[in-house]
Structure 1
Amino acid sequence: MNAAELRDKTPDQLREELANLKKQSFNLRFQQATGQLENTAAFKKARRNAARVKTVLNQKAAEAAAGE
Structure 2
Amino acid sequence: MKASELRGKDKAGLEKELGELLKAQFSLRMQIATQQLNNTAQLKKVRRDIARVKTVINSKDGQQ
Quote the Cα distance in structure 1 between the aligned partners of 2:39 and 2:11: 30
2:2 maps to 1:2: yes
Could you tell me which runs of 5 or more consecutive residues in structure 1 were left unpaired when the two chains were aligned.
none
Structure 2: which 5+ runs fail to align?
none
Q: CA deviation at 1:61?
A: 0.2
Alignment of 1:1-68 (within 5 A): 1-64=1-64
Letter in 1 for 2:59: Q
Q: State the TM-score, normalizing by the size of structure 1.
A: 0.93
Give the distance between the partners of 1:14 and 1:39, measured in 2 at CA.
26
SS in structure 2 at match of 1:37 = coil
- Per the TM alignment, residue 3 of structure 1 is displaced from its structure 2 partner at its CA by 0.4
TM-score (norm: length of structure 2)? 0.99
Give the superposed CA RMSD.
0.3
Q: Could you list the runs of 4 or more consecutive aligned residues of structure 1 that deviate by over 3 angstroms after TM superposition?
A: none
